[in-house]
Amino acid sequence: MPEAPYDLLGGDATVRRLVDRFYDLMDSVPEHYVIRKLHPADLAGSREKLYLFLSGWLGGPQLYAEKFGHPMLRARHLPFAIGLAERDAWLACMKQAMSDCEIEAGLKMGLLDSLFKTADWMRNKEG
């Protein structure tokens, strides 16, 4: 049986490091303001929820589902205007975070392909 991306990444510690780097970039890179402004001033809750979600999404422990139930991603994101700019900023931030965390190139590309599909599905406005 093939290893889950969660294990290939290095498990819990790497997922946490990836999420922390993602939010550090989102909070500090001006080009990512388009998504930063959709978040509360204190990013602690957002960091925790993405960590919990990614753990399960990557094939590790289903932490988000255990705590909050089914993720219902699209429904939970509907209150926020998400278009091409927001999708692309989110993906650019995650791509840089993966590079900074030295995620293996093949794994990174596969994950980014899957994340693109998910991020594109979140769009709820034109442009």
Mean pLDDT of all residues in the chain? 96
Name residue, tokens 């219902």.
72
- pLDDT tens across 35-75, in order? 999 999 999 999 999 999 999 999 999 999 999 999 999 99
Half-sphere exposure of 68 (CA within 13 A, CB side): 14
pTM of the model: 0.94
Q: Spell out the domains of the chain, with CATH numbers in brackets.
A: 9-121 (1.10.490.10)
H helix intervals, 29-102: 33-36, 44-57, 63-68, 73-77, 84-100
The whole-number pLDDT of residue 1 equals 67
CB atoms under 10 Å from CB of 62, counted, come to 14
- Report which residue type is found at 96: Q
- What does the pLDDT read at residue 2? 77
Task: Report pLDDT for 127.
Answer: 79
